[in-house]
Amino acid sequence: MMNSENPREGRAAPLPHRLLTAVLAVAALLLGAGAVVVGTAGRANAVLEGTVTPSQTSGQLTDVPMFASASVSAGCPEGFQSGVGVFVLVGGAERVLTLPIRDGGPYDAPFDLTMPSLYPLSRWIDPANADGNYEIRVRCLPASGTASTHFFAFPIQVTGTTWSVVQADPAETTLRLALDPADQVIISRPYTLTATVTPAEAEGLVRFTAASRELGTARVENGRAELRINAASTPGTTTVAAAFTPADPTAFAPSSTTPVDYATVEEPGIEVRDENEDVIADNPVLAPGQRLVVTARGFRPGETVEVTLTGSEAGFPDVAAPEGTVAEHGITLPEDLADGEYTLTLTGATSGTAVPFPFTVGESDGADEGADQGGDQGADEGTDEGADAGTDEGADEGADSGADQGADAGGGGDAGIGGALDGGASGDSGSSGGVGPRGPLASTGAGLTGVGVLAALLVGTGALVVRRAHTAGRLRAFGHAPRD
């Protein structure tokens, strides 16, 4: 007799259709993610260098997806660039938040991802016991096989039913301020403020101020910000400072400088008057015990000014410069000052500004030297002038006397030559009337006189020779020789 029992008896009952579908979906999800990671170790030095910036920085634990999108600043390692998955680390184990994301691959460079909807944080984190910090990971996936151990990460903080991104502490910065010229500047002149930011990678703006007044702003470039402006038109003091505002406050912290004392001053200068209120010229000759009235400018307003005299051990009291000027300050020179050069100097005790006033006691070397040179030159010129005049006059008189004597002694022949010679001798004796070097004009006159004497001598000699030759009958062209 046939067994009437159900032929399927003894077999396992089939799973319901819906349950089977769910199991298959979860299995596919886990295979796509690489493996079930429940109980896997934490970061284990697998975190990649790069930052994840989600589109939302806070939300509810029940939000699906947790955030809409995110930007990652670096690419995945080679062999694991086919896709990415998003997980939350809970109790040392990674819990999946999305299906594998592959529509943006290959992920070999910085990339953006769009979060598909799968699970909220509340699936893995119990709101009743949720407060604390957690880590969100973007893991790099291969085309198939085991998931990479490398991932990008960012921290979140859960409080009650909400989550928020934990902002990493920004890097500290330091700011240093320098001014050129340092300490003080002359009124209305330009000066430069330079702020140096460390680290140099920090970008942003630097704001410069004087007391509560803004001087201007400058952008940081390669760790430096510079501003060049004109100083105030009146003397005064202030405090200058700088403040750095980072372009990315999550990466770098702001910083500022301590205020720096700075002053605007007048152009340094000095005016000295005597007891009659007459202005004393530069580098004067003064007398021991002389009373001076001094006005000096160029100091920091309100500073103390020291008075010194080089070359003297005499002491002088300090004086104030309320507006940066020592006004009409009386100073009496020591009675025991010896002849020589001295410098009266007023020096600012704070600024170091020194205003000198050089002078001489006794007759200056320059005056003596000028007098000596003038006397010598006058004596030389007088001697030369007298010598030249005497020489010219003696030469002229001698020449005239010789010419006259030659003409009187006989118009030709030996007598004429003798007269010319006598005239030349007389000219020589006449030249002794002057003493000293001859100038160009005297030399020219003496030369002309010599030429005249020589010409007369030649003419007389020629006439004598012709006459004797004719007498001897050797010159026929002049007729027969005279008979005795």
Please give the domain boundaries of the chain with CATH numbers for all domains.
31-165 (2.60.40), 174-265 (2.60.40.10), 269-362 (2.60.40.1930), 384-471 (no CATH)
The better pLDDT of the pair 415, 238 is held by 238
Query: What pLDDT sits at residue 37?
Result: 37
The better pLDDT of the pair 343, 312 is held by 343
Query: What pLDDT sits at residue 363?
Result: 73
Residues in the chain: 484
Q: What is the pLDDT of residues 265-289, one digit of tens each?
A: 999 999 999 999 999 999 999 999 9
Average pLDDT score over the chain: 76
Give residues with Cβ within 8 angstroms of 272, minimum separation 6: 279, 280, 292, 293, 294, 295, 357
Mean pLDDT of 230-245: 96
Report whether pLDDT(396) > 60: no
* Band (43; pLDDT cuts 50, 70, 90): very low
Both structure tokens of 137? 């990971």
Query: What pLDDT sits at residue 460?
Result: 60
d(CA 152, CA 135): 10
Give residues with Cβ within 8 angstroms of 100, minimum separation 6: 32, 33, 83, 84, 85, 141
* Band (463; pLDDT cuts 50, 70, 90): low
Query: What pLDDT sits at residue 133?
Result: 93
Report whether pLDDT(148) > 80: no
Q: What is the pLDDT of residues 3-24, one digit of tens each?
A: 444 444 444 444 444 444 444 4
Beta bridge partners of 226: 194
In terms of Cα–Cα distance, which of 40, 41, 27, 50 is closest to 140? 50
d(CA 321, CA 331): 16
Mean pLDDT of 374-379: 45
Query: What pLDDT sits at residue 455?
Result: 55
* Band (356; pLDDT cuts 50, 70, 90): very high
Report whether pLDDT(260) > 90: yes
List strands edge to edge, sheet with 174-180.
Answer: 174-180, 190-198, 224-230
- What DSSP string describes 223-273? TEEEEEEEPPSS-EEEEEEEEEEES-TTTB--EEPPPEEEEEEPPPEEEEE
Query: What pLDDT sits at residue 380?
Result: 47
Query: What pLDDT sits at residue 443?
Result: 39
CA–centroid distance for 68 within its chain: 53
Q: Provide, for the chain, the percentages of residues in helix, strand and coil under a 3-state DSSP scheme, each rounded to the nearest 5.
A: 25, 35, 40
d(CA 448, CA 454): 10
Query: What pLDDT sits at residue 419?
Result: 34
* Band (457; pLDDT cuts 50, 70, 90): low
Mean pLDDT of 450-478: 53
Q: Which of 106-110, 186-190, 311-315 has the lowest mean pLDDT?
A: 311-315
